[in-house]
Structure 1
Amino acid sequence: MEWSAIQNLIDPQLLIVVAVCWVIGYILKQTPRVPDWTIVYAVGIVGVIAVCLMLGWSVESILQGVLCGAVAVYGNQLVKQAVKGSQDE
């Protein structure tokens, strides 16, 4: 799947939610008492709640929230792996 296809799945007005999810994930990662495995779920829940507050409660809003959280986590992993890959060379 191409990045442009993913961009078409998320409503452009919700890109701020992706950014907020990314920041929440970063903050949780820096918090010592938060296990890493819970961060993905927390970011997903924040994404769903934020989108539902913006667009109203519907199935589409829930799906958009899940996508926002998933793109934030995926984007974070892309950055981390790119940095790690450049350091290994």
Structure 2
Amino acid sequence: MEQIMNYVKPELIIVAIALYFLGTWLKQAAFIKDKYIPFVLGIVGIFVCGIWVAATSSFATAQDISLAVFTAVVQGILVAGVSTYTNQIIKQTGKSE
């Protein structure tokens, strides 16, 4: 987890926390199968990170746009991964063997 956190922008840690709670809600709501929850979190993470990138970047050249898209996708996947990883740590530590 520490290795992943080195790549997540500090401003986007709150997105990982929000995705954790969204995933918990989706699990309880039961209208989405469990196997699709990480995929949904990834899409939402990319979308939210895309909003952040659009708000904090300038788009003067095609290179700027490409970098913004790349950053949004990578950060979205990373924050979704952090939220899923956190969920699994909590689940696994609660299990008795």
Residues paired across the two proteins, number: 84
1:59 aligned partner: 70
Unaligned runs of 5+ in 2: 55-67
Q: Residue 12 of structure 1: which of 10, 13, 18 is its match?
A: 10
How far does residue 5 in structure 1 lie from its aligned partner after superposition?
2.0
- Comparing both chains, which one has the higher relative contact order based on Cα–Cα distances under 8 Å and sequence gaps of 6 or more? 2
> In the TM superposition, what whole-angstrom CA distance separates every residue of 1:27-71 from its partner, at most 9, and x where no partner exists?
000012221111011111111001000112421121000100011
Question: Contact between 2:16 and 2:80, CA under 8 Å: does it hold in 1?
Answer: yes
1:30 aligned partner: 28
Task: Provide the alpha-carbon RMSD of the alignment.
Answer: 1.1
1:75 aligned partner: 86
Percent identity over the alignment is 31
Query: SS state of the match for residue 58, structure 1?
Result: helix
How far does residue 13 in structure 1 lie from its aligned partner after superposition?
0.4
How far does residue 81 in structure 1 lie from its aligned partner after superposition?
0.4
The two structures have a TM-score, normalised by structure 2, of 0.80
How far does residue 7 in structure 1 lie from its aligned partner after superposition?
1.3
Structure ID, larger Rg:
2
1:42 aligned partner: 40
The two structures have a TM-score, normalised by structure 1, of 0.87
